[in-house]
Amino acid sequence: MPPGFDCVLVNGTVVNHDGIGVRDLGVRDGRVAAIGDLGAAAAETRIDCRGLHILPGVIDSQVHFREPGLVHKEDLESGSRAAVLGGVTSVFEMPNTDPTTTTADALADKLARAKGRMHCDFAFWVGGAHDNVDDLPELERLPGAAGIKVFMGSSTGRLLVADDAGVLAILKQIRRRAAFHSEDEPRLNERKPLRVAGDPSSHPVWRDEIAALRSTERLIRLAREARAQVHVLHISTREEMEFLAGAKDVASCEATPHHLTLSAEDYPRLGTKMQMNPPVRSPDHREAIWRGLRAGVVDVLGSDHAPHTPEEKARPYPESPSGMTGVQTLVPIMLDHVNAGRLSLERFVDLTSAGPQRLFGIVGKGRIAAGYDADFTIVDLKRRETIRDSWIASRSRWTPYDGRSVTGWPVGTFVRGRRVMWDGQLIAPPMGEAVRFWG
């Protein structure tokens, strides 16, 4: 073993693919160089992590950082700052910006904007649309591209492919796993009269479970016809979770902290702050998503961080926009569920590190192992904190979890061997780089 390291983390409880145990980590040139007893090793920096757990860096594969075009809500710097303050080391950012990310030039523009400004590593989803189908085989393989994202139901922005022929054409062109917002647009349109002015609790009545299930059933049928792999985002219904348990041949799926934590019973308290697409629903749907997570149907967790300003969210429903902040609260909210016994720490790691690596073919991330990027999310499982709006680094500066007490807290974030956050403070300039992918 070479004698010296750039950094050694000692006495931490490491959670990785071979279990949980106290061991030291040696970092050199941004990568994990050694795991074991390194107490006597020479290092430029030595950090005592006694009493802390060191997890593989958390990857949030669904965030909306709103740049370009909507930077009064969020931008790449503020969104990534929120990410690392919450223990997230890499993000995949969504294409429904203005202009949309549907061309090579638009992707190159986002990568240029990210350089020297983003605090975490990053990749960008490319939007699949009717007018760029022929370009998708090239677009999905460009450096920095997370893959292709398709909106089958309308949400924030202009991207929409609502017809089977359009979805099938996209699936026949691509080779990587594509991500889908799955709601049936014809049903959404026919049910718009069911929205009740001033009553956000009518949101899940409008965008009901049938709209979600009908779209997902269509998607799975088309994926099998095209022999394509798909990823269904933000599952919100019992019916979809039961259906997707029989579709693992072609489909992976994501759950979000808000669909696992909130329910329709919270609308009187939170109002439009809880308004999301697809909606937060009744408690029986939330419990079904937990059953799917425990059974292994759920493959990854994503925050669906989708900020709007407090003024925008204060508009009366349905003029209020759908979306909430989430990237900074993903880790503490889910660690609180770990402490409550709803999932194991190992399962949390699989959902936020190994799972994204496995699904999307990420190079050098997703586990703590020699030669991998030294991306670490360091947490204090016993620390009790109360989440406050004042802690939120997003430009929008609010969270639906304001006032919620949690047990389990991110205390350190390492990105490729650099300690970028420690005990709530940013301690390094933004040096994020593009995530690399196989193929």
Q: Work out whether strand 178-181 and strand 145-151 pair parallel, antiparallel, or are unpaired.
A: parallel
Q: Does residue 304 have an active-site annotation?
A: yes
Which residues in 351-384 are b (16+ Cβ under 10 Å) and which e?
A: bbbbbbbebbebebbbbbeeebbbbbbbbbeebe
Cβ neighbourhood burial of 179 (10 Å; 0-12, 13-18, 19+): buried
With a CB cutoff of 8 Å and minimum separation 6, the contacts of 170 are 128, 133, 136, 148, 150, 161, 178
CA distance 24 to 424: 23
Token pair listed for 97: 């910006």
Q: 3-state class of 329 per DSSP?
A: coil
Distance from C-alpha of 324 to C-alpha of 300, rounded to nearest angstrom: 19
Provide CB contacts within 8 A for 159, sequence distance 6+.
Answer: 95, 96, 100, 102, 127, 129, 149, 150, 151
DSSP 406: E
Task: List the catalytic residue out of 304, 350, 373, 380.
Answer: 304
Cβ neighbours for 203, distance < 8 A, ≥ 6 positions apart: 195, 275, 279, 317, 318, 322
Report the catalytic residues: 304
